[in-house]
Chain A
Amino acid sequence: MTPILKITSLCKQFGGITATNNIDLNINEGEIHAVIGPNGAGKTTLISQLSGDLKADKGAILFQGDLITNMPSNKRSLLGIARTFQITSLMLDMSTLDNVALAVQAHSGHSYRFWQDARQDNQLIEPALYVLKQVGLLGRKDIITRELSHGEHRQLEIAMALATQPKLLLLDEPMAGMGGEETQKLIAIFKKLKTGKTMILIEHDMNAVFSLADQITVMVYGEIIATGSPKEIRANQKVKAAYLGDEELQTC
């Protein structure tokens, strides 16, 4: 099987600090690929380079065979790459429904339409409501986003990514700061989505990682030290030494 995403020797430096160093990674279609590693390992930088929010210093990214290394983020989105943000990034002074509807709108042709009331446009509203229902925010659709709870913000992040009907979903710590019950809800959602979507998941919650991931990549100091199935990763000595010995895993 050809991978849906092929990353070769990707690099990014900030000043003197190397955030990602010669990353080579293949992501296969339909899999959930988790990226784990201690804080500062360069996981978010990797996601941002994949989404186009950061420019790569070096290396290449191939998505479905197309070179997208220098493509701006909006074009990648149109190709089918969507991301969520670790630090919530929403249109805070618009309603929940508006946020999702905009994501739908971005993928239903150009928006040089000046006349028709967009909030009455069923082509936008119906898919948006469907996604909101999927993530369980339907009851909060008219609330101004600023007033949602933290957990709801996380859910909305995912809803917006989903509304763009992505082929590849980049999830940057979607469970961060969520309670156990909410986390379980999200795990269920991701499991349901697994058919037909490829996901890259950054997550510190190891229960979530090991219950969802088909493949796991471990990053330390901007480099990949291991890639494999959850089983292989558990058994990997290097990982154990560098990471799994970390108390973080044991407590979770």
Chain B
Amino acid sequence: MEKATRFTLRVKITVVIFLVLFFLPIYTGLTDNGFYLDLVNRLMILAIAAASLNLILGHGGMISFGHAAYLGIGAYCVGIPAYYGVDNGPLQIFLAVAASGIFALITGAICLRTKGVYFIMITMAFTQMVFFGFVSVEEYGGDDGLVIDTRSNFGSFINIEDNINLYYFILISLIICLFLIHKITKSRFGLVIEGSRSNEQRMRSIGFDTYRYRLICYVIAGCICGYAGALLGNFTNFISPEMMDWAASGELIFMVILGGTGSLLGPVFGAAAFVILEEWLSSLTLYWHFIFGALLIMVVLFARGGISGIVTYLGNRKQ
């Protein structure tokens, strides 16, 4: 019974969220407030990135402190071809996903040999390397970043130069990514990942080569985040190494925790809370970082399940 009520509350919330997201452009169109559309665009892209991080962090227990690298790699895979006048959308997306996957494969193969804090720090180290790597390539703007003049071109399929089209493109991407992640976590593969988080030694002793499964999971997460990066590049029309700063990776972790680890919609809640808080608090006071930081500590101390946990709690209480 308990499970059923929780399920319906969750489904209700999910349906409401996506209905709102679906009709938002009409509202912003009517009120002539394109800024909110931008805000939600950013939110949805970050939600995809956070969801991919949740796959390894929440489900797999791999605390990557360098996930922002894939956002950057994905974005540069849009920016660099665009710089040479290549705006072929499918090609750019393919590049973004492939480059992220290869990067994840190489670094993951090394990182996953370490455990605990060593893992946290080595993932961070690799991202710092990419960060400084892009800083040093002056051709693509170095520290200053690169302006993307033209967004990805998907031919007659959809023209994302238009902000509303871009919005729906991102929304559908979000839905597809969440669905994919949902499927993966429920599959045999997903169970192996979950089991490896819970007790890796036992998983090996019953016959799983956990290292390889975790590595593949790490690569999948990287690919999805690389895709989010490609969207981000298109959305901001601008990329800079700053996107891969260690604080950016920290923010992604924050979104996952704030939303609630290991739950499907958690990262969406987390990204939404993050973007909205940032926007709202910074308009409130110059010292908004203080409130933000205090909130972060509160979440860790008092709300371990994150927003998703609160929803579950409410669902249970109602019954």
Please determine whether chains A and B interact with each other in the same assembly.
yes
Give A contacts to B, CB under 8 Å.
51-53, 72-75, 77-78, 82-83, 85, 89-94, 98, 101-103, 105-107, 111-119, 121, 124, 160-161, 163-164
A83-B191 CB under 8 A given contacts A92-B198, A112-B216, A115-B183: no
Asked if B8 lies at the interface with its beta carbon under 8 angstroms from chain A, I say: no
Q: How far is the CB of A75 from chain B (nearest CB, A)?
A: 8
Which residues in A have their C-beta under 8 angstroms from that of B156? none
A94-B194, A118-B188 are known contacts; what are 11 more A-B pairs with Cβ within 8 Å? A74-B204, A74-B209, A77-B205, A90-B202, A91-B202, A102-B191, A105-B192, A111-B208, A112-B216, A114-B183, A117-B187
Tell me the nearest residue of chain B to A146, going by C-beta: B198
CB <8 Å contact, A106 and B206: yes
Asked if B289 lies at the interface with its beta carbon under 8 angstroms from chain A, I say: no
Which residues in B have their C-beta under 8 angstroms from that of A111? 188-189, 191-192, 208, 213
For B191, give its contact among A105, A160, A164 (CB under 8 Å): A105
Which residues in B have their C-beta under 8 angstroms from that of A75? 209
Which residues in B have their C-beta under 8 angstroms from that of A82? 205-206
What would 27 A/B residue contacts be, using CB atoms closer than 8 Å?
A: A72-B204, A74-B204, A74-B208, A74-B210, A78-B207, A89-B205, A91-B194, A91-B199, A91-B202, A92-B198, A94-B194, A102-B195, A102-B203, A105-B191, A106-B206, A106-B207, A112-B216, A113-B187, A113-B188, A115-B183, A117-B186, A117-B187, A118-B186, A118-B187, A124-B188, A161-B206, A164-B207
Which residues in B have their C-beta under 8 angstroms from that of A92? 198-199
Which residues in B have their C-beta under 8 angstroms from that of A51? 205
Which residues in B have their C-beta under 8 angstroms from that of A163? 206
CB <8 Å contact, A89 and B199: yes
Q: How far is the CB of A86 from chain B (nearest CB, A)?
A: 13
Q: How far is the CB of A92 from chain B (nearest CB, A)?
A: 6
CB <8 Å contact, A164 and B198: no
CB <8 Å contact, B186 and A119: yes
Give B contacts to A, CB under 8 Å.
183-184, 186-192, 194-195, 198-199, 201-210, 213, 216
Which residues in A have their C-beta under 8 angstroms from that of B183? 114-115
Tell me the nearest residue of chain A to B202, going by C-beta: A89
CB <8 Å contact, B207 and A74: yes
Q: Closest 9 A-B residue pairs measured CB to CB?
A: A77-B207, A106-B207, A91-B198, A118-B188, A113-B188, A103-B206, A111-B188, A74-B204, A89-B202
Q: Complex Cα distance A51/B206, Å?
A: 10
Tell me the nearest residue of chain B to A51, going by C-beta: B205
Which residues in A have their C-beta under 8 angstroms from that of B209? 72, 74-75
Residue of B184, B192, B201, B207 contacting most chain A CB atoms (<10 Å): B207
Residue of B183, B205, B207, B210 contacting most chain A CB atoms (<10 Å): B205
> B interface, by DSSP: helix, strand, loop or mixed?
helix
Q: Complex Cα distance A106/B198, Å?
A: 16
Q: How far is the CB of A135 from chain B (nearest CB, A)?
A: 15
For B188, give its contact among A78, A85, A121 (CB under 8 Å): A121
CB <8 Å contact, B199 and A90: yes
Q: Complex Cα distance A75/B204, Å?
A: 8
Tell me the nearest residue of chain A to B213, going by C-beta: A111
Which residues in B have their C-beta under 8 angstroms from that of A94? 194-195, 198
Tell me the nearest residue of chain A to B220, going by C-beta: A114
Tell me the nearest residue of chain B to A145, going by C-beta: B198
Q: Complex Cα distance A89/B198, Å?
A: 10
Which residues in A have their C-beta under 8 angstroms from that of B210? 74
CB <8 Å contact, B189 and A89: no
Q: Complex Cα distance A121/B207, Å?
A: 19
Which residues in A have their C-beta under 8 angstroms from that of B187? 113-118
Q: Complex Cα distance A106/B212, Å?
A: 13
Q: Complex Cα distance A213/B186, Å?
A: 42
Q: Complex Cα distance A101/B203, Å?
A: 12
CB <8 Å contact, B206 and A77: yes
Q: Complex Cα distance A191/B313, Å?
A: 47
Which residues in A have their C-beta under 8 angstroms from that of B194? 91, 94
Q: How far is the CB of A97 from chain B (nearest CB, A)?
A: 11
Q: How far is the CB of A169 from chain B (nearest CB, A)?
A: 12
Q: Complex Cα distance A53/B195, Å?
A: 17
Q: How far is the CB of A80 from chain B (nearest CB, A)?
A: 10
Q: How far is the CB of B309 from chain A (nearest CB, A)?
A: 14
CB <8 Å contact, A118 and B190: yes
Residue of A83, A107, A118, A121 contacting most chain B CB atoms (<10 Å): A118
Q: How far is the CB of B252 from chain A (nearest CB, A)?
A: 23
Tell me the nearest residue of chain A to B190, going by C-beta: A118
CB <8 Å contact, B192 and A102: yes
For B184, give its contact among A101, A105, A114 (CB under 8 Å): A114
Which residues in B have their C-beta under 8 angstroms from that of A116? 187-188
Which residues in B have their C-beta under 8 angstroms from that of A83? 205
Q: Complex Cα distance A111/B210, Å?
A: 11
Which residues in A have their C-beta under 8 angstroms from that of B192? 102, 105, 111
A114-B189 CB under 8 A given contacts A89-B201, A92-B198, A102-B195: yes
Q: Complex Cα distance A60/B296, Å?
A: 54
Tell me the nearest residue of chain B to A123, going by C-beta: B188
Which residues in A have their C-beta under 8 angstroms from that of B191? 98, 101-102, 105, 111, 118-119
For A93, give its contact among B189, B198, B201, B205 (CB under 8 Å): B198
